[in-house]
Structure 1
């Protein structure tokens, strides 16, 4: 059970990083 929050945190962090990169690329393209 102690592993689940850690996995969720890593997953959320990975998604956040992907969104930040996507937004950065969109702004860069503009």
Structure 2
């Protein structure tokens, strides 16, 4: 579910880099 949410947020906010990093951190986080 996380990747989908990240994609939506990236498309919604347009902050690809920041949200992309957030996605990576979300995946690395337990």
TM-score of the aligned structures, taking structure 2 as reference length = 0.47
Tell me which protein shows more helix as a share of its residues: 1
TM-score of the aligned structures, taking structure 1 as reference length = 0.47
> Structure with the greater relative contact order (CA < 8 A, sep ≥ 6): 1 or 2?
2
